[in-house]
Amino acid sequence: LDIKNMGTTIVVRAKPYITNQELIDELTGVVRSIHKLKPSADNDFAINETDIITQSFDQLFKIIAIVGWIIGGFSLIVGGFGIANIMFVSVRERTNIIGIQKSLGAKNFFILIQFLFEAIFLSLIGGGVGLLLVLAGSYAGTQILGFEILLTWNKIIIGIATSSVIGLIAGYVPALMASRLDPVEAMRMNA
């Protein structure tokens, strides 16, 4: 061994039939003899197991994932309430138009579907903006960190589907309220 040209780090992998402890004991003996340490002297080197480091990172990533799910859940709830409020305002502002549509023969189901589509469209716009932010963030993260952050088609489809479902749920009550308006009362309300 050319000790003078050795780096400060050596990476060693055990053969399948050798345990980590056996490898650590063997490495300790070899490095102690290379460093010419006396039996009573403390080691002037460290042996780190990647399993311990990997476990620490795994725990960190699990915590980050849990926090991400919590933040994502709250974001969905807040977004849902935002869409519901927008839809309630939309119904209120268009009460007169709803009355005219119903007096011209529009069925309750048509009015319901009209407002549900609007709510889903609004949530898809929000989901699209969120998707663009995630794409930009993953690209920036790839450039800064130096390893690729993957965004799979499955996750994109799940995100779009989740946005649609949130829009459907958030828009249902305002759409139902709009579909049940009495045409005469609706035309009279904003007149």
Q: What is the pLDDT of residue 84?
A: 96
**How far apart, in whole angstroms, are the C-alpha atoms of residue 92 and residue 40?**
85
Q: In this structure, which long-range contacts are made by residues 24-27, counting pairs with CB atoms below 8 Å and at least 24 apart in sequence?
A: 24/49
Q: What is the pLDDT of residue 47?
A: 79
**Predicted confidence pLDDT, tens digits, the chain (191 residues):** 455 555 677 777 788 888 888 888 888 888 888 888 888 888 887 777 777 777 777 888 899 889 989 999 999 999 999 999 999 999 999 999 999 999 999 999 999 999 999 999 999 999 999 999 989 988 888 888 777 778 889 999 999 999 999 999 999 999 999 999 888 888 877 65
CA-nearest of 5, 7, 4, 2 to 45 is: 7
Q: What is the pLDDT of residue 164?
A: 95
Q: What is the pLDDT of residue 4?
A: 55
Q: First-to-last CA distance in the chain? A: 95
Copy the structure tokens of residue 126.
Answer: 């929000």
Q: In angstroms, what is the C-alpha Rg of the chain?
A: 31
Q: What is the pLDDT of residue 6?
A: 56
Task: State pTM to two decimals.
Answer: 0.67
Q: What is the pLDDT of residue 161?
A: 95
Integer angstrom CA distances of residue 62 from 45, 156, 179, 181? 31, 21, 45, 49
